[in-house]
Chains A and B, each alone.
Chain A
Amino acid sequence: MIEVSKDYDLPFGPAHPGSGNFSVKLKVNGENVTGAKSDPGYLHRGFEKLMESRTPMQNAVLSDRICVLEPLAWNLAHAEAVDELTGTVIPERAKYIRVIMAELSRIQSHIIWYGAMSMGTGFDTGFKLAFGYRDYILDIFESVTGGRVYPAGYICPGGVRRDLPDRARERILKVLDKVDRMKMLEKLENPALLSRMKGIGVLKLKDAVRLGATGPVLRASGMKTDVRLDDPYEVYDQFDFDVPIMNEGDSYSRYVIGIREIEQSMKIVRQALNELPGGKVREPSLKPELAAKIPKGEVYIRNEIARGEAGVYMVGDGTGSPYRCKIRGPSFLHMIPVLEHLLVGSQIADVPAIYWSLNPCPADMDR
């Protein structure tokens, strides 16, 4: 009989159907994962460097590409950094539109998250349904920004590029009703999905903080924190919403957090639509003025995006481009230290359930 070694290397990605442009090199003994090393860089485009030679309006378009799954959220973080440096006061209406778009973006991102988790655990129906429902939100994005996925810098320094189209309110409310229906899926409590996620990939609160987890991943481990609540930006302090938390820290609780956050985001969108004030949507309204110089100074912007905490550190030096723009993507921490920590000691079959429960986006990791 031939002696066969039980130890081998197993690359998960970058050509795995469920990994995205990212790879994690596993060391495996039989079915057990004994080591994991993340290998990012497949999507490294050097946005931080590119932004140093472009104007803020060009950078607004560039900021779309930081994350494929939620470009509007990154638009917002970038625009806030420029606004704070230039001292621009944003019209009230623009602030509300920014919140509405950012929350719709969170909803569709969480729907993808649900779909990807279903796919990763072999529940293909969930995947197809999720992507179907996400398309209703993309329809809204198309009518508001002109792009289904990439809004081309819709949320730009000074406000937003244009006002909401006619009947936007009715259309958005209609789509929210449809998303409500999608949430019925969760009530089905699919046994295949549950058996693959309960008790899998447990992240303790202490480890979560030490490894830099933020957003839903941290909240699923029992920390009540949300940048929208703790460090409010735009008009989030005027809305009534909850921050769902779970204490187990396993894949299943992260999944539940995702579904509950969709509900809360819908609540915010409905409130914002009801209180939407009139007026201008951009300040100053003329383009050449917007190309004005970024004054000397520095800011650190924190935003709560679907994946966790987004950070933009911008330094101005009085020229037309930022001197330095550091972008902090939540997946950078979730996919390197957190993922490596969770995978060691797990089983090969659980890798996708852990991987997708972290809501990864290789694009915001590599930037």
Chain B
Amino acid sequence: MSTNISGKEMAGKIRRKFSADVRVQKERRIWVETTKAKLPSLCKHVKGLGFDHLSAISVTDILKEGKYVIAYHLWSYDDKMALTIKTKISRKDPVIDSVGTIWGKNAQIHERESHELFGVKFTGNPDLSELFLENWKGPPPFRRDFDWKAYVRKEHYDKENEREKVYWEEEA
């Protein structure tokens, strides 16, 4: 196991170029926080540093602040370290640039999932069609404020069915 560069050195490289908040959590785990505007250039920069593998894109719904945190989990095959880039966007108007041009089809699929489950729009992604859900008409289901129980009751409660009645009426 040969690592050419330590986590601290890598963090320094990113910090120098972008005045981003870079934190080394432990060996092989670096976290960066950046703004929406700086994200595309930062992503291009770290891709150039060897972070070839986009492991996942995750969305966290911070209801209290009215923000979404988009996190890009990356891995460098050369330097054997993981980097997570986090950026906050508005929850009301969740639009962010796609990183599909940087990490390719892989990124587009992750974005498609995030679009479906959280309603985040990725500008520049050619395919944001539905993935898991079929004919879904409700709000994006993974939002923190999505009350699935109320939704199912409203949309799918068959009042004629005695068995369902027991479940839904007792709950209420």
Residue numbers of A with Cβ under 8 A of B are 40-41, 44, 46, 48-49, 52, 209-212, 214, 223, 225, 229-232, 237, 298-300, 302, 309, 311, 313, 315, 323-324, 326, 328, 332-333, 336-337, 341, 366
Distance, CA A259 to CA B31, complexed state (A): 37
Cβ of B82 within 8 Å of any chain A Cβ, yes or no, is yes
Cβ of B128 within 8 Å of any chain A Cβ, yes or no, is no
Distance, CA A311 to CA B108, complexed state (A): 18
- Decide: B105 and A326 in contact? CB cutoff 8 A: no
Distance, CA A212 to CA B52, complexed state (A): 9
Cβ of B168 within 8 Å of any chain A Cβ, yes or no, is no
Distance, CA A336 to CA B53, complexed state (A): 16
- Decide: B58 and A326 in contact? CB cutoff 8 A: yes
Partner of A212, one of B54, B80, B142, B144: B54
Partner of A326, one of B28, B56, B77, B104: B56
Partner of A328, one of B29, B55, B82, B148: B55
- Decide: A211 and B104 in contact? CB cutoff 8 A: yes
Q: How large is the interface on B (under 10, 10 to 19, 20 to 34, 35 or more residues)?
A: 35 or more
- CB A320 to nearest CB in B, in angstroms, measures 16
Partner of A311, one of B52, B73, B104: B73
Given A41-B132, A212-B53, A328-B56, the answer on whether A223 and B82 have CB atoms closer than 8 Å is no
Partner of B133, one of A41, A232, A298, A302: A41
Cβ of B60 within 8 Å of any chain A Cβ, yes or no, is yes
B148: chain A residues at CB < 8 Å are: 49
Distance, CA A303 to CA B118, complexed state (A): 26
Given A231-B80, A311-B73, A324-B60, the answer on whether A337 and B105 have CB atoms closer than 8 Å is yes
- CB A217 to nearest CB in B, in angstroms, measures 13
- Decide: A44 and B55 in contact? CB cutoff 8 A: no
- CB B150 to nearest CB in A, in angstroms, measures 14
- Decide: B52 and A209 in contact? CB cutoff 8 A: yes
Q: A44-B133, A49-B148 are in contact. List 9 more A-B contacts (CB 8 A).
A: A41-B131, A44-B132, A212-B106, A300-B73, A309-B55, A326-B56, A326-B71, A336-B109, A337-B109
Cβ of B75 within 8 Å of any chain A Cβ, yes or no, is yes
A302: chain B residues at CB < 8 Å are: 55, 75, 82
Given A40-B131, A229-B1, the answer on whether A311 and B109 have CB atoms closer than 8 Å is no
Q: Is the interface of A mostly helix, strand, loop or mixed?
A: mixed
Cβ of B84 within 8 Å of any chain A Cβ, yes or no, is yes
Given A49-B141, A231-B82, A313-B73, the answer on whether A366 and B106 have CB atoms closer than 8 Å is no
Residue numbers of B with Cβ under 8 A of A are 1, 25, 28-29, 31, 52-56, 58, 60-61, 71, 73, 75, 77, 80, 82, 84, 103-106, 108-109, 113, 131-134, 141-142, 144, 148
- CB B144 to nearest CB in A, in angstroms, measures 8
B113: chain A residues at CB < 8 Å are: 332
A41: chain B residues at CB < 8 Å are: 131-134
Distance, CA A4 to CA B4, complexed state (A): 61
A210: chain B residues at CB < 8 Å are: 103-106
Q: Which of A210, A225, A300, A336 has the most CB of B within 10 A?
A: A300
B103: chain A residues at CB < 8 Å are: 210
- Decide: B142 and A311 in contact? CB cutoff 8 A: no
A336: chain B residues at CB < 8 Å are: 109
- In order of increasing CB-CB distance, the 5 nearest A-B pairs are A212-B106, A326-B58, A41-B132, A328-B56, A44-B132
12 contacts between A and B (CB under 8 A): A41-B132, A209-B77, A223-B77, A230-B77, A232-B1, A298-B31, A299-B25, A300-B29, A300-B73, A309-B55, A326-B56, A332-B109
- Decide: A333 and B106 in contact? CB cutoff 8 A: yes
Partner of A211, one of B106, B134, B141: B106
Distance, CA A319 to CA B51, complexed state (A): 34
- CB B152 to nearest CB in A, in angstroms, measures 12
- Decide: B105 and A328 in contact? CB cutoff 8 A: no
Given A40-B131, A49-B148, A211-B104, the answer on whether A323 and B60 have CB atoms closer than 8 Å is yes
